[in-house]
Amino acid sequence: MPLRAHLREFRNRLIYAAIGIAVGSVIGWFVYEPVFEALQAPIISAAQEQDALITVNFAGLATALDMKIKVSLFVGVVLSAPWWLYQLWAFVAPGLVKKEKRYTAGFLAAAIPLFAAGIALAWWVYPKAVSILTGFTPEGGSNFLDAQMLMTFTMRLFLAFGIAFVFPVVMVFLSWAGLVRTKTWLKGWRWAIVIIFIAAAMLTPTPDVVTMMSMAGPMVALYFGAIGVARLGEKRRDKKRAAAALDDAEA
């Protein structure tokens, strides 16, 4: 494919992805109220449990509108994830051989539900993180949570969990593509656990151990699960290579 046609295809895929995100954002605009109520619910619960003044504060004149736009865009990106991930695959696919296309299609098929699982776990962790962090408010004190800060906090939390859950799929992809042997992953398991806990501490926007363990624990399990899945594909590839080498020797 000529460079100009390649750039045209890239532009078209970007446009298609942007249209998908825009459609998702329109949906996000109409479901903003229930989404914001869900985000605010743990804060209201924390205020009732601690008998303290804890509330979301819209400091600026346009903060409420800005918050609605950001929430709508965030919902749009999450809802349209299968669509824009497909556009990425459709752009790369023409340059791949049949075997590589099969790997990338499998990668997307596994990455989407794992990303959703990470988002779901973040949704479970979010109320606990709010309860723990607001619990440090001194008795008699008030906690006015800036709306922009709250949005940044939730976006970091949800995206961190979603992206972290996709990494094991990358491991399997690299092993099945023959770029990394599973014994390499196994040899470095100690370092992997250390790195996972460091990454969990850095990616999660809260300093509490509960949130960090909620991310690190499943990531460790997924790490070893990915090694097991990668090993199955590696065994099949090794058998095919051995059979091909035997056929060549007999010939």
Alpha-carbon gap, residue 86 to 182, rounded angstroms: 28
CB atoms within 10 A of CB 104: 17
Query: What single-letter amino acid sits at 144?
Result: F
Greatest CA separation for the chain:
86
Find the helix or strand (DSSP H, E) in which 126 lies. Answer: helix 98-134
Residue 204 neighbours by CB under 8 Å, 6+ apart: 156, 157, 160, 211, 212, 215
Structure confidence at residue 26 (pLDDT): 94
Q: Work out the number of other CB atoms within 10 angstroms of the CB of residue 27.
A: 14
The band of 22, judged by pLDDT with boundaries at 50, 70 and 90, is very high
State how far the Cα of 135 lies from the Cα of 57, in Å rounded to an integer: 18
Residue 244's pLDDT band, with cuts at 50, 70 and 90, is low
Query: Which letter, b or e, does each residue of 161-175 get, where b requires 16 or more Cβ atoms within 10 Å of its Cβ?
Result: bbebbbbbbebbbbb
User: What is the pLDDT at residue 95?
Assistant: 60
Does 210 have pLDDT greater than 80? no
Please compute the mean of the pLDDT values over residues 62-80 and round it to a whole number. Answer: 87
Residue 27 has pLDDT above 90, yes or no: yes
User: Cα 28 from chain centroid?
Assistant: 19
Percent pLDDT > 90 in the chain is: 6
Query: Who contacts 22 (Cβ-Cβ below 8 Å, separation ≥6)?
Result: 76
Helix and strand totals (H; E) in the chain = 9, 2
Q: How far apart are CA 194 and CA 216, in angstroms?
A: 10
The residue type found at 53 is L
Looking at residue 25, its pLDDT comes to 93
Cα separation of 42 and 11, whole Å?
A: 42
What are the residues facing 144 on neighbouring strands? 55
Q: Are 212 and 204 in contact (CB under 8 A)?
A: yes
Share of the chain above pLDDT 70, in %: 82
Mean pLDDT of 189-200: 80
Q: What is the mean pLDDT of residues 193-216?
A: 73
